[in-house]
Structure 1
């Protein structure tokens, strides 16, 4: 009996270690896929709840990283300020999500997805006004998707802890979308 319990614990620990992998080798799944695999295996909550939490965490990580780049690299002071707002607000939201996910035993990715990293790399290659335009266009599109996703989660999720996170974060995301629209002059 002790061997079975030990083997189960070892398998779970291996899964968790995979989810924390930085995703730097092509043989391994990216951090988002790894977190989803662990959640699928241990089924801490309804799949829609854990999938939302994983996607929100990955997106939040990307927002912080891009915000750091924009705060340093942008030439337009409004874009610099927007970047810093992303760092501040999404760092706070990420911390909130981490603590709520821990309460629900949901595994979150330690890094953003490979696709999100590619978007950052593409944006980071730009300079000057080209960077500002690329970054703000990304933020506009991303926050449109985020607002829609968080609205849906606020009404549809079955887990109250993660649903409350979506509901409480939604006004901040709407503020980000409104700011991105004002800076870009686009709807």
Structure 2
């Protein structure tokens, strides 16, 4: 009788264990780490590109605040630092929630572009920087629009849709400032080539 009771209890535990074997995946009290970070290849590439692109915009923006001659270019640089820092923080928060791995730094190609910009000064810097910002934001808008419309990941889709209007403001500003700096002349070049006669 005692043996029978022990067998019944053991059997009960076995049935309970089998019935609850999948509960950690769907139950309300799940404490296991769930890999919810799976992304398509295209979405994964977008996340990496957005993270690195944002870091580059911040570095170049800080550079523009220091080296630009035109005040509008300086202000544009400050806007890049502010807006892309905020966008980057939101992407990091989303990545943390979803177990996505983000790049820690920009690519070697990005680093080379930043170093080239560091060597430019005055009007030359303004023109090169704004030309780069036009190109970058046109590509960014295309990428973000595609993800906002077609991504199968709801969180990433919402993120792209939220940032897209900000990028459009950046592009509009870049177009306006670029028109201005394209027509500007370095103050040091104004008298270049002119024959100057000393006063008698």
Report TM bin, short chain: 0.7 to 0.9
**Match of 1:118, SS?**
helix
Verify: 1:123 aligned to 2:107, yes or no: no
> 1:18-63 CA deviation, whole Å, 9 max, x = no partner?
xxxxxxxxxxxxxxxxxxxxxxxxx732222221111000000000
Quick check: 1:101–1:162 contact (8 Å CA) kept in 2?
A: no
Give the alignment partner of residue 88 of structure 2, picking from 89, 94, 103: 94
Residue aligning to 2:13: none
Quick check: 1:45–1:104 contact (8 Å CA) kept in 2?
A: no
Residue aligning to 1:66: 60
Task: State the Cα RMSD in Å.
Answer: 1.5
Give the alignment partner of residue 133 of structure 2, picking from 139, 142, 145: 139
**Match of 2:177, SS?**
helix
Deviates more, 1:172-181 or 1:157-166: 157-166
> 1:85-131 CA deviation, whole Å, 9 max, x = no partner?
00000000000011111222111111111111111111111111000
Report deviation, 1:158: 0.9
Q: Which has the larger radius of gyration?
A: 2
Q: How far apart, in 2, do the equivalents of 1:161 and 1:101 lie? A: 10
Give the structure with the higher percent helix: 1
Q: TM-score, normalised by structure 2?
A: 0.70
Please list, as runs of the form range in 1=range in 2, the aligned pairs for 1:129-168 lying within 5 A after superposition: 129-168=123-162
- The 4+ residue runs of structure 1 with deviation greater than 4 A are none
Residue aligning to 2:40: 46
Q: How far apart, in 2, do the equivalents of 1:98 and 1:173 lie? A: 18
Question: Which structure exhibits the higher relative contact order, with contacts defined as CA atoms closer than 8 Å and separated by 6 or more residues?
Answer: 1
